Every structure is written in structure tokens, then in C-alpha cells.
Amino acid sequence: MKKVGFLILILIAVSCTSSKKEQANHINVKQAVEAKKGMVATAHPLASEVGAQILRDGGNAFDAAVGIQFALAVVYPRAGNIAGGGFAVYRKTNGESGSLDFREKAPLAATYNMYLDENQNVIPKLSSFGVLSTGVPGSVDGMIELHKKLGSLPFEKLIQPAIDLAENGFALTENEAKKLNDYQKDFLKANDSSTYFFNDGKWQTGEKIILPELAQTLKLIRDQGRNGFYTGETAQAMLGEIHSNNGIITQADFDAYQSVWRKPIEGKYKQYNIISMPPPSSGGIALLQLLKGSEQFEFSKFGHNSLESIHLMTELERRVYADRATYLGDSDFYDVPVDMLLDSAYLSNRFSDILLDKKTDSKDIKEGNVDIIESIETTHFSIVDKNQNAIGITTTLNGNFGSKVFVENAGFFLNNEMDDFSAKPGIPNQFGLVGAEANAIVPEKRMLSSMTPTILEKDGNLFMVVGSPGGATIITAVYQNILNVVEYGMDMQQAVNASKTHHQWLPDLILYEKYGLDSLVLNQLQEMGHKMEPRSAIGKMDAVLVLPNGTLQGGADTRGDDTAVGVH
């Protein structure tokens, strides 16, 4: 694998980032990548090449997923992680499917009102910045469990490329240099001393970063498995950082953490079978609600991003997100009414008051008040191997660089996932999402998520692997990506490139990508009463489509460093 490590370091020299012109003209700026023997699509070219090389070396899709997860922890520190968590949805060659929940958990010492002041008001940023915002991490346990159940190559072979990248160094892309520069003040504010990622805002494209402490941590995981992270020197480094800043996670939390294999959420959309993530992700339920609602309308006739299609998607979304706020939480602690939420009669009634020519006010659907929608940084990758084993993983630290707290002696950032709980039911989190008692803080409970790794089957065969970062916008981005292929006949890259919109019940407005809507459609939506707000991006898709002849088609978002690599 040393040869692989050398090759992937060279790859970055020829990788390129999207130009401003491409960002402004997002549609049709890139061709889909096609291959017969495997496809990998991730947020970073080095991670994609790690996964592709594992497939070339005889590994399966699940081996590649483990290698990519650890590689992203090195080269994509804003969201790639070993101290975060996530969800995986898989499908084996024989059609067997499943999902793995390696979402973070609330610490044993967490309390219902831990982010409230004496007047029961939410203390700003306490749940999103610093060590008190950190949940018990799940990524390392998740990857070990994934490999144990589905892997074929030795674990040490899969983690070695990430070790090579951390030990030998890697060159910053333009996007990553800019992102690091944007967060320099936060790094200083959250840490007692400067981190390896502090450079006074002067990081340059192509500049090399070496992470010897992270390399050592990865070696401990390689040699000791789970114990290399949750016990010993790595655990002590984390706990030292946490306790020095009044955090509440203890060794007992690390000892108690376990990822969980869960039965996926499954349902039909026309002739397609949808396999997605169950609670504590809201993604699978919300996605199926949206798709089942879409069956009531002829989207293919309306056309992509037409007045009718955007209006109807918005009306469906506002009702689904209101349900999310009311009913969704960790099913290990709360009886999520899954059957009711996906019941045809319930959904028919839920969507019955949608009008083709009139906007619904969100306050008429459910009472609430939210004034903000902020961005979130997650990352998703999709993999299909030569035998059409498939896996989609969405993983995150939550916000960019998580809590911003860097474990200096171990080389990685801690998550800020506690913000995904309802700090106070009815009050929005940093991303404008409202939660109810179903998502209230309880020790060892997993916080609600919007992550939506999803696999589609058509006529019993693998059809698509899809997912996205984007916090609240993940669900709507995945939903539109599916419509783009199924209803509008786009190929995988066109579907990824196509401009997207988003509505999440509250605040009562439609987000839309700049330059993505026809000015006439924009004006017509406003005349109907919709409030419109432009955004630079909604979702960043990395997806794989299986063509009728078995060819694999990869699509990767052109606005970042996202890269699809095929195995020929």
C-alpha cells in the first residue's frame, strides 16, 4: 500500500477545482464518469482514489468505504472524521440490504436542560461551539463493525492509505485552503493553543500539511482496533482536552458506545424500491413521504424547475418537515410512528389541501417560529463494486470542523453533534430546524439527523446510490436528485449538476441556487406568495447510477473537490 500512498499524493497535483464561471453556470459543466468494474464518488479526489485503488486491489465496496472514511478524516477535516459519526446503507450482490447507525450519542452526564440559563432560555452557541457541544463519537466503532460484517480485505490494508496521507503529507486544494482560512479565528477561540491547521489565515493552494499525531492515532486503530481509539492514549488525549474545558464526556461513555445495525426504511416510488436510513435519521421517512406525495402529480410533464414543479415540491416539503419537527427522534428512546407517517391514507390526507395555484402558509400547517437557516458541513460518498455490492455513507462532525476543538496530541477535531438535539423543544438549532420532545436530550440517546444515504432498486436490480451533505437540505437534495433521473431523464452528472431548491416548513421561504432559476419562474413564484432567498449551493451530491447495460455512471458535484473515479 506504500505504492498507493505515493500515487494518491501525485493525483492531487492534477486535480482541479471549479472555476467561478462553472459555479455560475452549474448545469452541464461536467460529463458523467463511466466504468464497468467499480465506481467511487466522494468529496475529495485523494479519498476517491483511495477507494478506487482498494477496488482495483480486489476489495469490495465495503472495504472501499472503510478506506475512504479514514482517508477523508485526513484530507477533508471539515467533515471527514474519526471523532464524528454517521449512517451507512448497503446492498449486497444478492439483494440483501441493511443499515448501520454509527451516530454519536449524548454523554451519560447530559441533561434535558443543559443548554438553558436560569430563565430557561437557550444559551447562544453553547450546544454548537466548544467541548460541551460534543457527542460521544461513533465513526471508529462504525467502521470496525462495517468491516467485521461485510469486509473482505484485512483491516490494516484499508486504513494504511490514510496513515500514509497523514504521515507523508498532502497538498491543500483551493477549496480546503480557503475553508481553513475562514475558520482561523474559531480555531484560536476554541483551543488553548494553536492547532496544526492554524496559519493565521494564510493557507495557500498546494501547500502541504503533515499530521504526525493523526498518523499515530490511525496506527493505534490499525493495530488495536476499537481499543486504539476508545481506550489508551487516544482516549486519554480526548478526555484531557474535554475535561480541561469543562466537558462532560468520560471513559464510561467511550466504553458504553456501540454502533447499531438497523432495518432500513423501505418503500416504493412507482417501479423503484427505495432503501434508506431509519431513525434516528429523519432522512428515510421524510424522503419516502416526499416521493409518495410526488406520485400524486405528473412532475415529468411539468418539467425540471418549472413553476409547477417548484411550487409542488415546496408544498410537499413544508408538510414533511412539519412532521419531522413533531414526530422524529431516536427510536431507541421514543416510539416514532413510522407506520403512520408512511401510511397511504395518512399521506393522502396530509397532502390533500395542496393547491396547484396557491401557496400554503406554513403557520396553517403547524404552529412554530424560526427565523434562520444556516449552512452545515457533512460529507457523503457512494460506492459500487464490480459485483454491484453497493454502499452509501453520510458522515459528519456537524458544523464545519465540528466543535472547532482540536485534540492536539491525537491530531483531529471533535464533533458538535449535541446541537442536533432540541436544546429546548420548539426552539431552532443552528440550522433552523425545530424539534419537539421526541428529540429532547437524554443520556445515551442519539440525536436526530437529516442524513439520507439511499439506495434505489429498479425491477429488483441495483439502480442508484445517492446522498448529500447539507444539513436540513440533505433530504430535499436527495429527493430532487432522484426526480432528476427518474422523472426528467437526466444522467447521473446532469442530475447532480442541476440547480436545486429547498423548503423546510420554517422559516417560510424557498431557498434556491443562484443563477439556477429562470427569472420568469422566480417572478411567478413570488406572485403566488412564495418568499424566495438565493443560496450559493444546496447539497453537494456524490452518486452512482447503474445503466441498463450494467455500466456504472458516477456523478460528483463540480462546485467542490468532489470526484468520481471509475475502475476499468
Question: Would you write out the chain's pLDDT as a tens digit for each of its 568 residues?
Answer: 444 443 444 344 334 333 333 343 344 457 999 999 999 999 999 999 999 999 999 999 999 999 999 999 999 999 999 999 999 999 999 999 999 999 999 999 999 999 999 999 999 999 999 999 999 999 999 999 999 999 999 999 999 999 999 999 999 999 999 999 999 999 999 998 778 899 988 999 999 999 999 999 999 999 999 999 999 999 999 999 999 999 999 999 999 999 999 999 999 999 999 999 999 999 999 999 999 999 999 999 999 999 999 999 999 999 999 999 889 989 999 999 999 999 999 999 999 999 999 999 998 998 666 666 655 679 999 999 999 999 999 999 999 999 999 999 999 999 999 999 988 866 766 656 666 688 889 999 999 999 999 999 999 999 999 999 988 899 999 999 999 999 999 999 999 999 999 999 989 999 999 999 999 999 999 999 999 999 999 999 999 999 999 999 999 999 999 999 999 9
Assess if residue 521 is contained within a domain. Answer: no
pLDDT (0 to 100) of residue 372: 60
Full strand arrangement of the beta sheet holding 461-466: 33-35, 552-556, 542-546, 461-466, 454-458, 272-276, 265-269
- Find, among 150, 161, 163, 155, the residue nearest to 210 by Cα: 163
Q: How far apart are CA 470 and CA 399, in angstroms?
A: 10
Q: How far apart are CA 223 and CA 154, in angstroms?
A: 11
Q: Do the beta carbons of residue 565 and residue 48 sit within 8 Å?
A: yes
pLDDT (0 to 100) of residue 432: 64
H/E segment holding residue 243 = helix 232-243
Q: Do the beta carbons of residue 230 and residue 140 sit within 8 Å?
A: yes
Assess if residue 181 is contained within a domain. Answer: yes
Q: How far apart are CA 41 and CA 492, in angstroms?
A: 11
Say whether 142 sits in a helix, a strand or coil. Answer: helix
∠ at Cα 89 (274, 452), nearest 5°? 70
Assess if residue 198 is contained within a domain. Answer: yes
- Find, among 396, 352, 406, 436, the residue nearest to 188 by Cα: 406
Q: How many other β-carbons are positioned within 10 Å of the β-carbon of residue 250?
A: 17
Assess if residue 534 is contained within a domain. Answer: no
Position of cell 459543466? Answer: 29
CB contact burial 421-443 (16+ within 10 A = b; e otherwise): bbbbeebbbbbbbbbbebbbbbb
User: To 10 degrees, the CA torsion angle through 161, 166, 169, 175?
Assistant: 90
Q: How many residues does the chain have?
A: 568
Give the up-direction half-sphere exposure of residue 174: CA atoms within 13 A in the CB hemisphere.
Answer: 11
∠ at Cα 91 (332, 155), nearest 5°? 85
Angular region, 33: left φ>0, alpha ψ -120 to 50, beta rest: beta
- Print the domain residue range for 159: 2-261+376-422
Assess if residue 49 is contained within a domain. Answer: yes
Q: Do the beta carbons of residue 162 and residue 50 sit within 8 Å?
A: yes
Pick the catalytic residue from 234, 378, 501, 558. 378
Assess if residue 560 is contained within a domain. Answer: no
Task: Give the count of domains, the chain.
Answer: 1
Q: How far apart are CA 209 and CA 299, in angstroms?
A: 47
Please say if 378 is a catalytic residue.
Answer: yes
User: What backbone phi and psi angles, to 5 degrees, belong to 40?
Assistant: -130, 130
Assess if residue 61 is contained within a domain. Answer: yes
Q: Which residues have C-beta within 8 Å of that of residue 460, sequence separation ≥ 6? A: 95, 273
How far, in Å, are 30, 510, 560 from residue 557 at the CA level?
A: 9, 22, 6
pLDDT (0 to 100) of residue 430: 62
How far, in Å, are 48, 507, 537 from residue 374 at the CA level?
A: 28, 11, 12
Q: How far apart are CA 236 and CA 240, in angstroms?
A: 6
pLDDT (0 to 100) of residue 374: 57
Q: Where are the alpha helices (DSSP H) in 247-399?
A: 251-256, 283-294, 299-302, 307-327, 338-341, 344-350
- Is 13 exposed, middle or buried, given 0-12, 13-18 or 19+ CB atoms closer than 10 A? exposed
The cell for 150 is 461485510
Say whether 365 sits in a helix, a strand or coil. Answer: coil
Q: Which residues have C-beta within 8 Å of that of residue 412, sequence separation ≥ 6? A: 73, 77, 81, 82, 83, 214, 217, 406
Radius of gyration of the chain, Cα coordinates, nearest whole angstrom: 22
Reported pTM = 0.93
The cell for 152 is 473482505
pLDDT (0 to 100) of residue 438: 86
How far, in Å, are 182, 287, 473 from residue 283 at the CA level?
A: 30, 6, 10
Q: Which residues have C-beta within 8 Å of that of residue 253, sequence separation ≥ 6? A: 105, 107, 108, 136
Q: Which residues make beta-bridge pairs with 556?
A: 542
Assess if residue 518 is contained within a domain. Answer: no
